[in-house]
Chains A and B, each alone.
Chain A
Amino acid sequence: MSEIPGDLKFLKSHEWARVEDDGLVRVGISDHAQGQLGDLVYVELPELGAAVTAGSGVAVVESVKAASDIYAPVSGEIVEVNELLNDKPEIINEDAFGEGWIFLVRPSDRAELDELLDAKDYEALVEDEDH
């Protein structure tokens, strides 16, 4: 399993969030999550401009095996989605923490970021799950 980048924050449900230089929050699923799901075949992206609430389902990733809701780590507005995933959902399998990002949020309450797990806590959570 690939190294977890230290600048990421996580939900227990395996979404990651990265605060970009411009203050926007990029969201994807962890490498652990893509491994559990197996080959992804379809991603249902959120709508541009949609208002999302932290903890609510905003996207769906489907692997051969299962469908999984993707929850918003922070509240705000969807300002960009990763259109490449429409044709190549397997990008998430190949690079979950990078090219496989799913959507970008303009956060309405940055304090929500403090509620998320840091990389170390997330790593511990994943290790617990594996044992």
Chain B
Amino acid sequence: MTDKTVLNATHRALGARMVDFGGWDMPINYGSQIEEHHAVRRDAGMFDVSHMTVVDLHGARTREFLRHLLANNVDKLKVAGKALYSCMLDERGGVIDDLIVYFLGEEFFRLVVNAGTRAKDLAWIERQAKAFDVDVKERPEFAMIAVQGPNARAKVLGLLHEVDRPRIEQLGKFAAAAAQGPHGMPLFVARTGYTGEDGFEIIVPEADAVALWQALAAAGVAPAGLGARDTLRLEAGMNLYGQDMDESVTPWEANLGWTVALDQGRDFIGRGALEQQKAAGAPRVMVGLVLDEKGVLRHGQKVLTARGEGEILSGSFAPTLGKAIAFARIPAGEPGELRVDIRGREVPVRLVKYPFVRDGKACDGV
């Protein structure tokens, strides 16, 4: 039995092609995935991301608990509403999940974790929370709509109660605040996203989600499916859990070192293993690849380097660039000329720094 978000009937009425995504019946596109991708890069698009899991943490020792649970340091969160991206690691330094944590009060933090990892995340968080007397509460009664694109914020702002508009307009990147939407519906508006464009991710009570979706559509925001979400986040250089990293991979090997805070004296889960690997040097690295000839790089293809074989992680045709791009994990060290095995043919690829696309345009060297 697949789960359905509260917007399921809305997607079907729009003619969406539905697929099973981690046990959820979700729209992969509403017609053309490429057009949806361009709508987000050029104007504004919206995604139903209600399948993602919202977990609220309450208790006097919540901050102390998160210092222990997360590889990034929640002490960077000083102002209410600020958000932080972090990995949650196991004792071996393997990535259990990546998530966003919001600081909502000294005794109240909110996590948004992946849908596909919901059960194991909740089990892990609850187990770790006991020692800190922190209450872990899933919030399945919330839906979530991501509105992304250069015009996304303006279109959302137009739907907010006028007293909230200036405050939400001034919301900094990676910060969130409450606001009233159409008909006074209560919204949690975060200036975050997974596309490389500006925009908001909006948490809304399930009962109001369809009305919010319709209001956004009427404001000219194009529905976009998970297919476009995937190509957008890949162009933007953002990892996908399960494809680019999992428990068998440390943040060093997933290009997520920037999210690890090895600050003095903080004993977070996995720290020992990470320090050991850092001292010894990670055996594998994650890199960006571009294919200049025709063809498409795909998950699982073999990458040939001077140091041995690697593997394509996320790979796809990139609509903004008109060619294929990928993340790959390859042996550390000077890789030499890189080739990818595409159905028995060895095709040369270029190693590039990513993100591949920023602000709607190809980055230098891509």
Q: Which residues of A contact B (CB under 8 A)?
A: 35, 38-39, 41-42, 44, 60, 62, 64-67, 93
Contact = CB atoms under 8 A, between A and B. Distances in A.
Given A60-B343, A62-B296, A42 B33 contact: no
B227 A65 contact: yes
Contacts of B34: 39, 41, 64
Given A39-B33, A65-B33, 8 more contacts: A38-B32, A41-B34, A44-B295, A62-B296, A64-B34, A64-B316, A65-B28, A67-B343
B231 A42 contact: no
Contact of B317 (A42, A44, A60, A93): A42
Given A64-B34, A65-B33, A67-B298, A38 B17 contact: yes
Given A38-B33, A39-B32, A67-B298, A62 B17 contact: no
B73 interface: no
B29 interface: yes
Interface in B286-318: 294-296, 298, 316-317
Given A38-B28, A38-B29, A41-B296, A64 B317 contact: yes
Contacts of B28: 38, 65
B186 interface: no
Contacts, number: 39
Nearest to A64: B317
Most buried by A among B28, B32, B227, B296: B296
Contacts of B298: 66-67
Nearest to B342: A67
Interface of B: 17, 28-29, 32-34, 227, 231, 294-296, 298, 316-317, 319, 343
Contacts of A64: 33-34, 227, 231, 296, 316-317, 319
Given A42-B296, A62-B296, A35 B17 contact: yes
8 contacts: A38-B29, A39-B32, A39-B34, A41-B317, A42-B317, A62-B317, A64-B231, A65-B227
Contacts of A35: 17
Contacts of B317: 41-42, 62, 64
A66 B17 CA distance: 15
B294 A42 contact: yes
Contacts of B343: 60, 67
Contacts of A41: 34, 296, 317
A93 B35 CA distance: 13
A65 B295 CA distance: 12
B291 to A, nearest CB: 10
A60 B33 CA distance: 20
A60 B345 CA distance: 13
B312 to A, nearest CB: 13
Contacts of A60: 343
Please give me the 7 A-B residue pairs with the lowest Cβ-Cβ distance, nearest first: A41-B317, A39-B34, A62-B296, A64-B317, A39-B33, A38-B33, A42-B294
A41 B319 CA distance: 9
Nearest to A42: B294
B286 to A, nearest CB: 22
Nearest to A36: B17
A67 B33 contact: no
A102 B296 CA distance: 19
A33 to B, nearest CB: 13
Nearest to A62: B296
B332 to A, nearest CB: 30
B32 A67 contact: no
B295 A42 contact: yes
Contacts of A67: 296, 298, 343
A66 B33 CA distance: 13
A62 B32 CA distance: 15
A14 to B, nearest CB: 16
A62 B295 contact: yes
Contacts of A39: 32-34
A53 B298 CA distance: 28
Nearest to B32: A39
A38 B227 CA distance: 9
